């Protein structure tokens, strides 16, 4: 990007000097950092949601096993009374 153009109009041949600025404002780095932070936060929430789902599944499985054991005990008691 040209910021300034200086021309020399004397008897010598004309020369054009273009001065360009280099370097950035650091906005790209700041945006990249913000995206990284958002990705970490999103991963945290997904991980916690997965843990909650696993806990829920474990609780349901445990309850089902308890019902199964109770049904087995009831079946055994019925079998003993019918003999």
Residue 38 lies in a domain: yes
Residue 36 lies in a domain: yes
Residue 13 lies in a domain: no
Residue 8 lies in a domain: no
Domain ranges, residue 75: 23-82
Distance CA 2, CA 36 (A): 34
Angle at 43 between CA 38 and CA 31, to 5 degrees: 20
Q: How many domains are there within the chain?
A: 1
Q: Whole-model pTM?
A: 0.45
Q: What is the structure's pLDDT at 57?
A: 92
- Other C-beta atoms lying within 10 Å of the C-beta of residue 52: 10
Per residue in 17-62, pLDDT (tens digit) is 877 777 677 888 899 999 999 999 999 999 988 888 888 999 999 9
Residue 2 lies in a domain: no
Residue 7 lies in a domain: no
């Amino acid at each position: 990007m040209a910021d300034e153009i200086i021309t020399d109009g004397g008897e010598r041949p004309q020369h054009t000097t273009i001065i360009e600025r280099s370097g950035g404002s650091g906005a790209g780095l700041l945006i990249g950092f913000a995206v990284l932070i958002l990705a970490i936060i999103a991963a945290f929430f997904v991980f916690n949601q997965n843990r909650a789902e696993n806990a829920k599944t474990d609780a349901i499985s445990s309850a089902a096993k308890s019902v199964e054991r109770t049904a087995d005990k009831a079946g055994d008691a019925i079998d003993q009374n019918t003999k």
